[in-house]
Structure 1
Amino acid sequence: MSFKHKKKFGQNFLTDQGEVLAKIMEVSGVEADDAILEIGPGEGALTELLLEASRKVTCIEIDTDLEKILRRKYESHPKFNLVMSDVLEVDFDEKIGEKVKVVANIPYYITSPIINKLIENRKYVDEIYIMVQKEVAERVCAKSGRERSTLTLAVEYFGEAEYLFTIPKEAFTPVPKVDSAFMSIKIRKDNPYIDKVSEDVFFKYVKAAFFNKRKNLANNMTSLGIAKDIAKSKLEEAGIAPTRRAETLSIDEFMDLIEVFEG
C-alpha cells in the first residue's frame, strides 16, 4: 500500500532523489563523528545516506503512519534514533542533549518557527542545513533589498546564512506550487552582536523598524512611543536617513541605531 501524503503536515517528498540527495550530502559536509538531527524524515531517503555517513542520526517525525515505515527500515540500525513528536514541542535538553548538525527537508508551513526553535537551542545546534521554499531562502539570505525581514535579522544576529542551491518543484511528489532551495545557517561561536546589544533590545528595535514595511523608519519608530521629530533626530545622529525603510539597513546599521536610541 502506497503512502498517502498529508497536506496538514506539509508533506512533499523528493522523487528526483539521486542527484539532489547527493548534492545535499556534499554541501552539508557530514563527517563520521557528526551526530545528525533530521526533522521530517518522510520515508527515510535522506536518512539512509545520513546513517551511512555519520555517527548517529536522530529523526523527529510527527506522522504516525511514517513511524511504521521508518521503524521497518531502520529500527535495527545501531545509529538510528526516532523521536515521534512535533519538533516545535521537543525538549532538546531531554531528547537531543548533545551537539548536532541539522540536515533536513523541513515542513515548509512552519519554516520560521523551526528556524527560531533551532536558534533558541544553539547550545546543541551550531550548523543547520535545510531545504525550504526558494523565496524563504532568498529572504533569509538577503544582504540588502526588499526580501529582508525580521527573520533575516534574527538569523544574522545569531549566525550566517548562505543560499546553496535551487531544487525545481518537479523534483517532488506531490509537485508543490513553488521551487525549493537548500540553505545553511552557521551559528557564530564568538558573537559580537550579542555582546553589543541584548537579544530583547535588538528585537524590540527590529520589530519596530518593520512595524509597517511600507513606512519609513522615522514613522515606524513612533510605534515605540517615541515622538516623530525625536526619532528623526536620533536616526540622523546614527547616520541613517529618516526616510529609509527597515529592509535597507544592514545589521551593523541596526546596531548603530540602537546605540543612539538607547544612549
Structure 2
Amino acid sequence: MSFKHKKKFGQNFLTNQGEVLKQIMEVSGVEETDVILEIGPGEGALTELLLEASSKVNCVEIDRDLEKILIKKFDENPKFNLIMQDVLTVDFDKQIGEKVKVVANIPYYITSPIINKLIENRKYVDEIYIMVQKEVAERICAKSGKERSTLTLAVEYFGDAEYLFTIPKEFFQPVPKVDSAFMSIKLRKDNSRIEEIPEDTFFKYVKASFSNKRKNLINNISTLGIPKDIVREKLEQAEIDGKRRAETLSIDEFMNLIKVFEK
C-alpha cells in the first residue's frame, strides 16, 4: 500500500530504519511490563519493535490514511491499541488511564505543545523518549547559554532532560532541512520543586524574565509591574547581577530569585 507524506502533519519517515530504531530501543530501555504511548506511529516501523518488547502499545495517530495501514499490520495483536486522534485532544484520564512510557518520533511542528501536554499528564507519564529537531533538543537540554528558554525551564521544573543521540537528516524521507535528535525527559516522581514554589508563581517570573531575550533581568522582571529600583534591590538580595539575561540563570538561581521576590 503506497502512502503519500503530508506536509501539514509534519511527516518525515525514517528510511535508514534498522540502525536508528535499534538505538531508540536500546536507549529507551523498554521492558516487557511497560505500557507504551507512541505519538505519530506513521507506517508502524517503531510500533512493531515496541509491540515485541512491551506489554501494550497505545498509538495515537491523526492521519486517517495511515489508519488502514496500521490496522492491517497490527490489528490482530492484542497488545495494539490505536487511537485515531490529535494527541493534543487526547483525554488521558479516559483514553489512557494508566502509567505509560512515551517512545515516539513526534511531529516536529507541535513539539512544545506535545511536551507540555505530556507534562500536564505526568500522573500517567513517567519517562519520555522522543525524536525532535536537533536544535530543539539542544535547547531543552542546555544547562547554560543562549539556547535556554521557557521550555528548558519548564522541563527542568518537572524533571531532567538528556540529549541521547543525533539522527542525520538524510535518514528521512522526504529529507527535512535539519538534523534530528533523540532525547529523554524523566519526570520527577516527587513534587519537590512544586512544593517549594507553586507552578503559577514559577512560570509568572520565568515568562517575564524571558519576555524580551535582548533585555536584562531588571528590565524584564519590571514588566510584572514592580518598580525597577525594587527589582534591582531584590536581585541583589538574591545575589544575582541584574544586568544578566534570563538564559544565563540556572533553575536553582531562578528558584532562589523567586523566593526573594515572593517574601
TM-score range, shorter chain: over 0.9
Residue number in structure 1 paired with 2:185: 185
Distance in 1 of aligned mates of 2:93 and 2:240? 42
- Partner residue, 2:213: 213
Partner of 1:230: 230
> How many Å apart are 1:174 and its aligned residue?
0.3
1:133 and 2:114 aligned:
no
Q: Which residue number corresponds to residue 58 of structure 2?
A: 58
Provide the residue aligned with 1:168 in structure 2: 168
Q: 1:192 deviation in Å?
A: 2.1
- What corresponds to 2:2 in structure 1? 2
CA–CA distance in structure 2, aligned partners of residues 207 and 58 of structure 1: 34
Q: 2:47 is matched by which residue type in structure 1? A: T
* Counterpart in the other structure of 1:95: 95
Quote the residue 2:200 is aligned against: 200
3-state SS, counterpart of residue 30 of structure 2: coil
Distance 1:37 1:238 in 2: 42
Q: Are 1:41 and 2:12 matched, yes or no?
A: no
| CA distance in 2 between partners of 1:180 and 1:90 (Å) | 26
* Alignment RMSD: 0.5
Residue equivalent to 1:106: 106
Q: After TM superposition, which residue ranges in structure 1, 4 or more long, deviate above 6 angstroms?
A: none
- The alpha carbon displacement at 1:92 in A equals 0.4
Give the TM-score, by structure 2 length: 0.99
**Structure 2: distance between partners of 1:197 and 1:203:** 10
Unaligned runs of 5+ in 2: none
Q: Cα distance, 1:12 vs. partner?
A: 0.3
For residue 213 of structure 2, give the secondary structure of its aligned residue in structure 1: coil
Distance apart, 1:237 and its partner CA: 0.6
User: Which residue number corresponds to residue 76 of structure 2?
Assistant: 76
| Counterpart in the other structure of 2:122 | 122
* 1:122-151 superposed Cα distances (whole Å, 9 cap, x missing partner): 000010000000000000000000000000
The alpha carbon displacement at 1:191 in A equals: 3.2
Q: Percent of pairs identical after alignment?
A: 80
Q: Secondary structure at the match of 2:19?
A: helix
- Which one-letter code corresponds to 1:201 in the other structure? T
User: C-alpha offsets along residues 182-240 of structure 1, whole Å, 9 cap, x if unaligned?
Assistant: 00000001232111000000000000000100000000011100111110111011000
Letter matched to residue 85 of structure 1:
Q
Look up the match of 1:23: 23
Give the 3-state SS of the residue equivalent to 2:211 in structure 1.
coil
2: distance between equivalents of 1:70 and 1:13? 14
Residue segments in structure 1 that go unaligned for 5+ positions in a row: none
Distance in 1 (CA, whole Å) between partners of 2:4 and 2:60 is: 19
Aligned residue for 1:113, secondary structure, equals: helix
The SS at the match of 2:3 is coil
Classify the secondary structure of the residue corresponding to 1:242.
coil
Count, aligned residues: 263
How far apart are residue 111 of structure 1 and its match?
0.1
1:249 corresponds to: 249
Partners in 2 of 1:174 and 1:51 — Cα distance? 26
1:146-161 aligned within 5 A:
146-161=146-161
1:31-82 CA-partner distances (Å, limit 9, x unpaired): 0000000000000000000000000000000000000100000011110000
Name the CA distance, whole Å, in 1 between partners of 2:36 and 2:145: 34
Structure 1-normalised TM-score? 0.99
